[in-house]
Amino acid sequence: MWLAQEVIRQKRDGLELSATDIRRLVGGIADDSLSEGQIAAFAMATLLRGMTAAERTALTLAMRDSGQVLHWDLPGPVVDKHSTGGVGDLTSLVLAPLLAACGCHVPMISGRGLGHTGGTLDKLESIPGYRIRPGLARFRQVVAEVGCAIVGPDADLAPADRRLYAIRDVTATVESVDLITASILAKKLAAGLDVLVMDVKTGGGAFMAGREAALRLADSLVEVAEAAGVRTRSLITDMSQPLARSAGNALEVEEAIALLAGEVRSERLWQVIQALAEETLQLAGLARDAATAERLVLEAWQSGAALARFAAMNLALGGPSDLTERPWQHLPRAQEVRAVHPARPGWVQQVDTRALGLLVVELGGGRQRPEDEVDPAVGLAGLALPGERVDENRPLGLIHARDADSAARAARQLQAAYVLGEERPADPVPALLDRR
């Protein structure tokens, strides 16, 4: 007789679980036959005792197989990217159409904002009419015809993860590398990928703030995804400063469109996107080396092909037909826009990136509770980055707020998030830190 409590006890005592026991536990999570108390006990035991590589792989595959797994019959490789979250991280909005323009198919299943980090789905929902849940049939059709589709998770994909994640969120077990690995990869593997590139962020604005923790997660993700038959690479990137010049949903969509049209406002953002794209093309077999991959990426960007793919994806999923030509005719705008200047001139030495993310949440651009509605118009724009000088002519940034009172509060918080100095600082931390 199989008993869930016995399996939980084994993990509590530090024993290795069999793949069969893990599959049965995950099945119980998915069909509600395991109680919330049992799931919480399993999550805590896993956090405290850890898992072997074989256990992590078995857990990930069981969660993948708890629902539908997509299979594709397409002329090009099926690829995707996942980011562990950051501030001003609009990478997905640019990367998916860029890869599609290079010959990939990108079924990108994204999530909402979590804590101080922004969510790709929240950004896309600022586009009037854009359907983030078009249904699997339409999702597959858009991927086949356009080359990319960025949507939310379907209820049939990795359903065990939703219940396990909700319980982890309230039982202080979110930090488990084993459970993070399974949660991320279950949904990605269910999308039927050939290639996956991970953007694992570290620094003050990342969930994995410490470099060693980020490296452990990066290695775990590669190991498990490769064991599942998906060619995978992890890039460790810096999140000690905002990646884009903006942080906030509609503001980031507009910056992504501008970048696709050739306007680079943040060199670091473009560096990360290029690195992810070039790594993907090499793993997918579309580029024989780094130089070929770079050439393909630049051609797709400079020719306007990537922008055209974004426009086609947006239109196919219900967005305005002229969004890329006139974004601010469609994207929501804040009632109050205020430039925030420093108390005295100086060079930006450091930015408290996490504080900026929390500021966007406080303005209404993120959630303090799961049921909160997001205001797509609010946020920060024109952010100054380390190594730049700010004064009465160059502000720290622009506050986009609902009203004058919230703008005034946000202005004080924005000033507090910056450390200025009289001398120009040394070169900042590189955007790309490591590859695994």
Q: Which residues belong to the active site? A: 80-83, 120, 168, 183, 187-188
Enumerate residues 6+ apart whose C-beta is below 8 A from 66. Answer: 26, 27, 29, 30, 158, 159, 160, 161, 186
Enumerate residues 6+ apart whose C-beta is below 8 A from 32. Answer: 163
Widest CA span in the chain: 74
H or E segment and range at residue 159: helix 159-169
CB–CB of 414/341 below 8 Å? Answer: no
Rg (CA), the chain: 22
* Adjacent-strand bridge partners of 155: none
- Helix, strand, coil shares of the chain as percentages rounded to 5? 45, 15, 40
Enumerate residues 6+ apart whose C-beta is below 8 A from 201. Answer: 83, 84, 85, 86, 89, 207, 208, 214, 236, 237, 238, 239
Distance CA 239, CA 32 (A): 38
Distance CA 44, CA 383 (A): 40
Q: In the block, which residue shows the tokens 């925030």? A: 340
Secondary structure letter of residue 113 according to DSSP: -
Pick from 158, 143, 138, 135: which is nearest to 108 by CA? 143
Distance CA 41, CA 60 (A): 18
Distance CA 360, CA 282 (A): 36
Q: In the block, which residue shows the tokens 């101080």? A: 116
Residue 262: strand, helix, or coil = coil
Secondary structure letter of residue 133 according to DSSP: -
CB–CB of 86/66 below 8 Å? Answer: no
Residue 347: strand, helix, or coil = strand
